[in-house]
Structures are given as C-alpha cells and as structure tokens.
Amino acid sequence: MKKKLILGVLGVGIVSSLIWILSRSGNSPTSTGEPDAGSGARSVLNQIVDAVKGTESKSTAAVSPAAASEPQGLSAEESRKLSILSEIIASKNDNDQRFDTELRNLSPEAKRALVRKYAEVRPEKRNELGTYVFLIGREIKDEADVAFLKSVLMEKPCLSLENCERPPEGQSGDEEHLGAINETTANYPQLVAIRAIRHKLDELKEQGQESGALFASLLQALREIRVSPNPRVVDEATKSLKELDRE
C-alpha cells in the first residue's frame, strides 16, 4: 500500500537539515553560469509530455471534439483504473486499498497519461504529485519510466507549501525556511522517486541482473541527479551510490 511507502520515506531520515537556496521556477542560468538544472528538469518533462501528445494526436484525427479531451489509446480497463485514481485523489485517502487491488500492472499508455497529469498539477499539490510518481515508480520497466523519475528528481525544491516559488512570507534565511514548511510533504515526490529507483536497483541486484540495461540506466540516473538543485536529492543519491559501492 501507499502508506507503507510513506512510512519508508519517513525512515530515510526526513528530519535532517535542508539548504533551501533555490526556487522551483525560472529559466535563467545560475549565478555560476551553468545551466539551471531545475529548469532543465521541467524541459525534460515537457519533452516527455510533448512526445505523448504527438503519439496521441495521430490517433485523434477522426475523433470527435468531446472525445479528444480524454486520454487516447487506453483500453476500457485502463480508463477504469484512471477513473479510480481520480476518485482516490479527490478523497485524499492515502490508505485506500485500491492502490494495491486495482492500480497495478499499468500499461505504457496509462503511464503516459499519468505523466501528462503530473505536468498539469500545481506544484504545491505535493501529495498528488507524489501519488503519480509512486504509481509509476513501483513498476519501473523501461527507459521512459526512468526518464520521468529523473525529471522529477531534477526539479527545484519547493520552498513553501503555499507557493513553491517563494519562501514563506516575512521570513528569510535557510534555517527559517526549515522551520516554516512541512519538510516531508515539500519533498514528497522526490523522496518517493529516489526510493523507487533504489528499490528497483536492489531488486535487480537480488535477481542477478546487474549487467542488464535497466540496472545500468537506473544507476546512471542516480549519478546524474547528484547535480540536482535539491540538496535532499543530492544527499540521497550520494548515499545510495555509496551503499551500492557504485560511486
């Protein structure tokens, strides 16, 4: 269940210090002149979404305007699953049993629909964003899944649950940021994503598939996200690589 993952995330060490020095949005270069990693993450996500739209547009040429608003290429079963997910998100019940009984074995088409939904959600809705990451991350099967998780991990940190772009009004300084927001919720999508990557790496290792393409892709993602603008992500990626003896 999703609750188990949340408890696992808490166990990773949520209460450790964060250095909140970057905002989520913006397309300008950093002060060092290097490309903005957070903006790059949104660019990658947008590319994924554009690719999804391109695929869907080919199948919607003869579809009525009313039907075109719905995700295309989904079977009746996958559409039913997405409807169930919408119900769960609306209820805000993280313990809903249907996470385990209904929302498994998602097709590539259903996952693409989730990626689109993720891109459309306001950044302050951290739990909803984390839910989409959770569903894709627990069934990592290909490069598309890895690319999505990596884009999430390269996002800038959310500085405030009221407005991810700015720290809480009337406060300044990194320590005050830490005391003003719910740290777990602010980092929830990223913590879920990196835990999913680590879990899949451990699973593949136990299965003797360390030489496989998926293991290599996940490992490379861990290495690359060490330049994430989110200090928590950098810490967790570095820790995982050390534990895997793969620095």
What is the distance between the alpha carbons of residues 211 and 201, in angstroms, rounded to a whole number?
11
User: Taking 60 as the threshold, does the pLDDT of residue 2 lie above it?
Assistant: yes
pLDDT of residue 170: 61
| pLDDT band per the 50, 70, 90 thresholds, residue 243 | very high
Angle in degrees, 0-180, between the axes of helices 108-120 and 76-91, rounded to the nearest 10: 30
Q: What is the pLDDT of residue 32?
A: 34
| Domain boundaries defined on the chain | 2-7+35-57+74-243
Model confidence pTM above 0.95? no
What are the tens digits of pLDDT across the range 98-148?
A: 999 999 999 999 999 999 999 999 999 999 999 999 999 999 999 999 999
Per-residue pLDDT band at 21 (split at 50, 70, 90): very low
Tell me how far apart the alpha carbons of residues 230 and 126 are, in angstroms, rounded to a whole number. 15
Q: Which of 45, 136, 142 is nearest to 82 (CA)?
A: 136
pLDDT at 167: 83
**What pLDDT is recorded for position 36?**
53
3-state class (DSSP) for residue 63: coil
Residue 1 pLDDT = 63
Residue 110's contacts (CB-CB under 8 Å, 6 or more residues apart) are: 74, 78, 81, 82
Q: Rounded mean pLDDT of 2-20?
A: 44
- What are the residues whose beta carbons fall under 8 Å from the beta carbon of 133, sequence distance 6 or more? 118, 149, 152, 189, 192, 193, 196
Percentage with pLDDT > 70 across the chain? 66
Question: Residue 247 and residue 36: Cα distance in Å, rounded?
Answer: 24
Q: What pLDDT is recorded for position 247? A: 74
Residue 220 clears pLDDT 80, i.e. is over it: yes
